[in-house]
Structure 1
Amino acid sequence: MRSLIYVTLASASLLLTACETTPKVSALSEPTYEQAQNNAFSVANYNAVSELMKRYPAAPAMASNAADGGTGAPFIIATLVNIDQLEQSSTLGRLISEQVASRMSQLGYGVLELKVRNGVYMKRNEGELLLTREIKEVASTHNAQAVIVGTYAESSTMVYVNLKVVNPASNIILAAYDYALPLDKQVHSLIRKR
């Protein structure tokens, strides 16, 4: 009986020793360039812009003008804001706005780059926040046909995003699209203040 116990203990000891010498594989591997190129976050935002523009009444006429080289009056893209604190944004809100502007441009729409303009309300670490009373003035000054605004709301597992195309003269919503992003580590890191 004692010899069986010694054999069992010796076997267990060998197994534990073998486990210690096995090289450890990092649970967090670095992303590849291919993964970065095709990340789901950018794809979700680009798809949202495409869906938003399908709902915008002037989009088909504008697309045909874009094919002829003319993009018409530009759009202004405001920074997406936290739905619970409309004067606050985050890296997430600023990044989605940048991707909205990029996708709009890729689709052939004119987009006014506010970061190179004077007179737009630029709150430090927030982005281009357009308050209702400022929309008409900024749009008129820059001859914008519409303003794209948006909000995001964080839940325990998702971030819900809303995009709207707004007529700057009347504040009437011309098109809207809602979508959700998973609140994974990537999105969580973008939504937190640094």
Structure 2
Amino acid sequence: MATPGSKAQRPYRRLAIAATLLAMLGLAGCSTFGNTSPPEAPKPDLSALAHQAAQQMVTNNPELTRYSPMIAATFVSIDNLSQSSTFGRISSEIMASALAQQGMQVREVKMRDSMFIEENVGELILSRQVQRLSSQHNARSILMGTYAQGQDYLYVSTRVVRAGDAMVLGSADFQLPLDNNLRSLLEGQTGW
């Protein structure tokens, strides 16, 4: 009869220790896989948010496309309505494109001489100019927008207004996480 610790039991003890170690390693591996957090959702993108905003505008007012053609104004800083940036220009372009894909007829005004376009600013439209510019371009509506830079987010408000009386026909708001890319688009804001 073998006594505890005898030579006859040593191979079984080693086998039991090895099996226990393997089981512990297996459980540790499972716990590592089980505790992984889900992959981070992709950050919202300006183009995707603009397309969602355009769809929301048309969904909320299916008659919106009847107010074509539309001209697009450069989006401006909420803190200074005569100031814009690369972000203001590209966000206006993307939003106009998104509305065109929703069925809105968009008149390209950069091809015409009659709209004042200041280099590095874009097509700024203040309320006093709405009537004059819309009649010059035979537009029934105007895309306008403002943006505000916070510490962590950039807030964008966009709307389509009726040219005749500046009544809002559709609006949408969204926010973008403020990262280095957006900061770069906001740098060097210029005005007239």
- Return 5+ residue gaps in structure 1 as ranges: 1-34, 63-70
* TM-score, length of structure 1 as denominator length: 0.70
Q: Quick check: 2:45–2:176 contact (8 Å CA) kept in 1?
A: no
Specify which of 113, 120, 127 is matched with residue 118 of structure 1.
Answer: 113
Identify the residue that residue 53 of structure 1 maps to in structure 2.
58
2:132 is aligned with 1:137: yes
Identify the residue that residue 74 of structure 2 maps to in structure 1.
79
Offset from partner CA, 1:136-191 (integer Å, 9 cap, x none): 11112222121110100000000000001111111222222111111012111111
1:29-68 to 2 correspondences below 5 Å: 40-56=45-61, 58-59=63-64, 62=65
Identify the residue that residue 97 of structure 2 maps to in structure 1.
102
Identify the residue that residue 191 of structure 1 maps to in structure 2.
186
Q: Quick check: 1:73–1:143 contact (8 Å CA) kept in 2?
A: no
* TM-score, length of structure 2 as denominator length: 0.70
The 2-side partners of 1:101 and 1:151 are apart by 14
Identify the residue that residue 14 of structure 1 maps to in structure 2.
none
Q: Report the AA paired with residue 176 of structure 1.
A: S
Among the aligned pairs, what percent are the same residue? Answer: 36
- Return 5+ residue gaps in structure 2 as ranges: 1-41
2:147 is aligned with 1:152: yes
Q: Which has the higher contact order (CA 8 A, sep 6+)?
A: 2
